[in-house]
Structure 1
Amino acid sequence: MEMDGAKRTRGAAKREALVQAAAELFWIRGFEATSLADIAAASNVPLGNIYYYYKSKADLAMAVANLFVAQTERLVADVCGETPDPRERLKFFVARLQSTQSSRVRYGCPISGAARDFRRTMPEPSARAAESFSLLTGFLAAELGRTGARPSVSLSRARAAIADWQGSIALAHALNEPTVLAECFRRMERLLTAAR
């Protein structure tokens, strides 16, 4: 019985290693340019064993999209766990985004990259990855509403903040200019924490 539990634990660790490697390689190289052999090498899982965990590269794409959603849910939970005050939560949220600034300047946004790259041939993983943006927008709108903003204003400001962040990531990445993203975070904080 213990042997089965250890085997399941090893299997879960390999499955997680494959998804983490795929997420990073899809982000850095792009989905099309990443082979299953690349993922196997990066995860230290033999190529032939990948098929035991994932039947295809499309299955890995869905697993990566699920990972992004889970990470987004964890981010929101972490921010909510910091303080009950909505304005403080919004500041903490911006600070958490800032902590990823250098990797976003270097490689762009992994979530928008996945949503874009998967869309042509795999609409379900693309839509699943994009759910991360819906979660973030919903969180921001709810917190803005808790500060007293009307629902339509809350949603509009939440969308503006996410759109500015994503556009700034794209521009900062294209120009290799961190200042573009740093300026965005200052704007986001003003937009999200301004008095209503």
Structure 2
Amino acid sequence: MAKRNDKRDILVATAAGLFWRQGFTVTSLAHIATESGIPLGNIYYYFKTKAELARGVADIFVAETEDMLTEIVEADQDPRKRLLLLIEKLVHSLKSRVENGCPIALGIRDFRHESPEAAERAAEVFSLLIGFIGRELGRTGLRPSAALGTARNALAEWQGGIMLAHGLKDPTVLAESFRRMERLLVPTRG
């Protein structure tokens, strides 16, 4: 039998997938119960509302991003290599992003009305990524204001690439965005 935290984790993971594929508004707690195999009445033991569940999903976004950044920092000391590792990790999600868009951006947009706390929490992912990129660019000698601007540009490139690739159903659009991000963050020395 699954422990309490296991069921909670299953519910949050199921909700995250459904919110991403179907959208937050159309996904009901009944959909989540059916998909997770956990009876609807039991969901209320863990989450009183769909808004609380959205907060759990946003917490996953933040935790996964923090784990990814920690892994990158532990993998290498060189800031340029760290930035390349970040891009490599983002590339691994190319197929799912083309198919469904960005779950973080969708969460921010979709959670905003029913669960503003969840929207703000999901937006922390973008702040974490901008902060990481800015710090690493600063370690390469870039001025703080230039590093911050470049970090924001890189994130905008990634998000815009996801949106366009998803809309056009064309993975090459996002692949091109990753190449532009690499040139922006780790320019070749000439």
Q: Classify the TM-score, shorter chain.
A: over 0.9
Unaligned stretches of 5+ residues in structure 2: none
Aligned to 1:190: 183
**C-alpha distance in 1 between matches for 2:47 and 2:113:** 20
Structure 1 residues 55-93: Cα deviation after superposition (integer angstroms, max 9, x where no partner) = 110100011011101011011111111101100000010
**C-alpha distance in 2 between matches for 1:135 and 1:43:** 30
**C-alpha distance in 2 between matches for 1:39 and 1:79:** 33
Unaligned stretches of 5+ residues in structure 1: 1-6
Aligned residues: 189
**C-alpha distance in 1 between matches for 2:29 and 2:116:** 20
**Deviation, structure 1 residue 131:** 0.5
The answer to whether the aligner puts 1:69 opposite 2:62 as a matched pair is yes
SS at match of 1:38: helix
**C-alpha distance in 2 between matches for 1:159 and 1:131:** 14
Aligned to 2:93: 100
2:103 to 110, 131, 146: 110
The answer to whether the aligner puts 1:176 opposite 2:183 as a matched pair is no
**C-alpha distance in 2 between matches for 1:115 and 1:144:** 27
Paired AA for residue 107 in structure 1: N
Report sequence identity in percent: 55
The answer to whether the aligner puts 1:141 opposite 2:134 as a matched pair is yes
**Deviation, structure 1 residue 120:** 1.9
1:131 to 117, 124, 133: 124
**Deviation, structure 1 residue 167:** 0.7
Aligned to 2:144: 151
The answer to whether the aligner puts 1:23 opposite 2:16 as a matched pair is yes
Q: Show structure 1 runs of 4+ deviating over 4 A.
A: none
Q: For structure 1, which segment, 94-103 or 40-49, has the greater mean C-alpha deviation from structure 2 after superposition? A: 40-49
**C-alpha distance in 2 between matches for 1:195 and 1:178:** 25
**Deviation, structure 1 residue 194:** 1.8
Q: CA RMSD in A?
A: 1.2
**Deviation, structure 1 residue 43:** 1.4
Paired AA for residue 42 in structure 1: E
**C-alpha distance in 1 between matches for 2:133 and 2:50:** 33
**C-alpha distance in 2 between matches for 1:147 and 1:42:** 47
Paired AA for residue 92 in structure 1: L
Structure 1 residues 142-164: Cα deviation after superposition (integer angstroms, max 9, x where no partner) = 00000110001100000000001
SS at match of 2:51: helix
**Deviation, structure 1 residue 121:** 2.5
